[in-house]
Chain A
Amino acid sequence: MNAEQFVDRVTDEIYARDPALLERFGEQGKVKCREDNHHHLRHLRTAYELNNAAFFTDYAVWLGGILTRHGMNTRHLLDNFQIIEDLLEQEPEDLETVRYREYLAKACVRLKEESEKGGI
């Protein structure tokens, strides 16, 4: 998978699904969104290479906490992860993409649990 191209596709999809984001955060928001998604992919790759889902799920919960305290909603992160999952479905299926989707699903469960507990 070409990370640059994949992140561009994820970013385009995020802004296509919610055009109000561009009005709210401007072009700079898009740049940040792209950076965030590179971070997501780096953590997914690390979890895969080290065969440990916790490296991604812990990161997701930590990030969810930070985003919430910076005025975002957990929903933004959940939607972002969902879009990555959706676009991964369109990639040729191999062990790496299968694992990525597993980690994303686990992270979403953790985020929802933490959100319900009021942790994030």
Chain B
Amino acid sequence: MEPFEALASCLLEGDADQAWACVQRHPELSRRAVYQDLLTPAMQHVGHLWETNQITVADEHLATATCDFILSKFAFGRNEKPSAGRAMFLCLDGEQHYLGLKMVDSLFREQGWETKYFGPSLPLEFALQTAESWKPDVIGLSVSIVYHLPKLKEYAEAFAALPNKPVILLGGRLAGLYDLRSYITEHTVILRDLPETEEWLADHETGGLKNGRTEFAPPPSVFEN
């Protein structure tokens, strides 16, 4: 059994202690690697089990809640004098898939950012209120379900019009599947996965490129697998 399958079993049992022990068996992995190579494939495996009628919706929810707990445990703890900047992270209105966003928030905190993480589904008007008063340097958006996409442009344009001109980042399942550049503003940065997020953070730290990718190379369609 692959490590991510063992982890998926713990998540499906709702056994947070065992799930944490699974993760702790790999002290050599960075936080990003734990997210990318253990938790993400474990949750993808859970999704596959649901799609193939091997588990129920209740099982999937239990796994999600347990994974959420593990992510919180990983990220828990105060950043000493965060100095890299301010970043806020939210899912578009209606979007309930937030685990990836929570991972990204955690990576930013690890790199010394002060963050606000809003979890699932934040209507634009409330996101704007916070953005106007808190003035983040970065606003990260996540979208995973296709029928939430029509709202994306409205979010991207509203944030781009803020006086302090935050960098807008876009991620989520759809960012890796489709070329979303037509639905965002020119300066929105698309981050298709955690390694790209890590790359962006490293570039930012060294004052390098902030505008992300300019070309889109679609990965093989997951629907054909």
Chain A residues with a Cβ under 8 A of chain B: 42-43, 45-46, 49-50, 52, 54-55, 58-59, 61-62, 65-66, 69-71, 119
How distant is the Cα of A43 from the Cα of B223 in the complex, in angstroms?
16
A45–B221 alpha-carbon span in the complex (Å) = 22
Contacts of A50 in B (CB 8 A): 149-150, 182-183
| A71-B137 Cα distance, complex, nearest whole Å | 50
> Is B146 interfacial (CB-CB < 8 Å)?
yes
Contact A43 B147 (CB under 8 A): yes
Contacts of A69 in B (CB 8 A): 51-53
A75 to B59, alpha carbons, bound, how many Å?
Answer: 29
A59 cross-chain contacts in B, Cβ below 8 A? 146
Contact of B149 among A46, A61, A65, A70 (CB under 8 A): A46
The chain B residues found within 8 Å of chain A, CB to CB, are 51-53, 146-147, 149-150, 177-178, 182-183, 221, 223-224
A45: chain B residues within 8 A (beta carbon): 147
Question: Which B residues lie within 8 Å of A61 (CB)?
Answer: 223-224
CB atoms of A119 and B146 under 8 A apart = no
**Nearest B-chain residue to A71, judged by Cβ:** B53
Please report whether the interface of chain B is mostly helix, strand, loop or mixed according to DSSP: helix
Q: Which of A49, A70, A119 contacts B150 (CB 8 A)?
A: A49
How far apart sit A112 and B120, CA to CA, in the bound complex (Å)? 36
Q: Are A66 and B51 in contact (CB under 8 A)?
A: yes
30 A-B pairs with C-beta separation under 8 A: A42-B147, A43-B146, A43-B147, A45-B147, A46-B146, A46-B147, A46-B150, A49-B150, A50-B149, A50-B150, A50-B182, A50-B183, A54-B178, A55-B146, A55-B149, A55-B178, A58-B146, A58-B221, A59-B146, A61-B223, A62-B223, A65-B51, A65-B223, A66-B51, A69-B51, A69-B52, A69-B53, A70-B53, A71-B53, A119-B224
